[in-house]
Structure 1
Amino acid sequence: MNTNSAPGPSGIGYTIIKHISDKSSFIILKIINLSLKIGVVPDQWKQSLIHPIPKPQKFDYILANMRPIALLDNIRKSVTKLLTNRLSTILTHNKVLRRLNFCGLKGEDTAIPLHLMNDIIEDARENGKELWVVT
C-alpha cells in the first residue's frame, strides 16, 4: 500500500490510523492512557529511523549536501500530540504560564523565547560559562 507518507518504524501510517473504527480508537486510547499512568513507554516509541535525503546539490561525499529526516512512529506522534493538547488546555485554563513562559501554547508566539534562549547559549559559549538547559 503506497500512501506517499513515511509510516516510521511500525509501518503504521496515518491513513491506517485515520480509518480505524471508533472501537479500535477507544482501545488504543485506553492502552495509551494506561502506558502513561504506569509510566511504561514501549521501546518502539523510543526509536526512530534516520534517512539521509539529498539536497539539490551534487552529493560528492559531503554530508552538508544531505538532509537527515527522522521517521518517528505515528502512534508515538499521536501520543505526543495528545499530551501536548492536554497540557496546553490545562496550562492555558489555569494561566500557569505568563509573560515570556508561554511558547508552545496554541496561539502564542515562540520567537521571543527562542531569541532569548539563543542569546543565553551564545553568552555561555563566548564567556566559557557552563550552561544547563532543563525542559
Structure 2
Amino acid sequence: MAKVIGLGGFFFKSRDPAALAAWYAQHLGLPVEEWGGARFEDAKHPGYQLWSPFAADTSYFAPSTQPYMINFRVDDLDALLAQLRTSGVEVDERVDDSEYGRFGWIVDPEGTRIELWQPPVA
C-alpha cells in the first residue's frame, strides 16, 4: 500500500510574506532563503521540509478556501493517487513532474488542499 512517509512542508497565506519571513528569521532563527521560505534537511528520508508563506491572494491553494496547504512526502505518488480515487477522495487530475520531484493534489473532507510529493531519486 502506498502511503505518506513524512511532512514535506507547510504553506500558508500571509498579508506580507516577506515581512513575516523576516520576523521568523529574526525572532526564531528560521533559515529563510532568497525565495522567501525556509528549508529543513531530513537525513533519514529523501527530500526536505519547507516552511513557506504565500501572498494572501494566492490561487495556489484553490479550490480550497483554507488559508493553508499541507504537503506530505509520499513513497509512490501514482499508486497513492489511484488508491485515493478508488476510495472516493477528490483527486486533482493534474500531476506535475519537475526537478524537485513529482506532485499531485487532493482535497480532504473539510476542503483543505493537500499536496502530495514524491521526491526525486537521489
TM-score, with structure 1 as normaliser = 0.22
Whichever structure has more helix as a proportion of its residues is: 1
Higher RCO (C-alpha 8 Å, min separation 6): 2
Give the number of the structure whose alpha-carbon radius of gyration is greater: 1
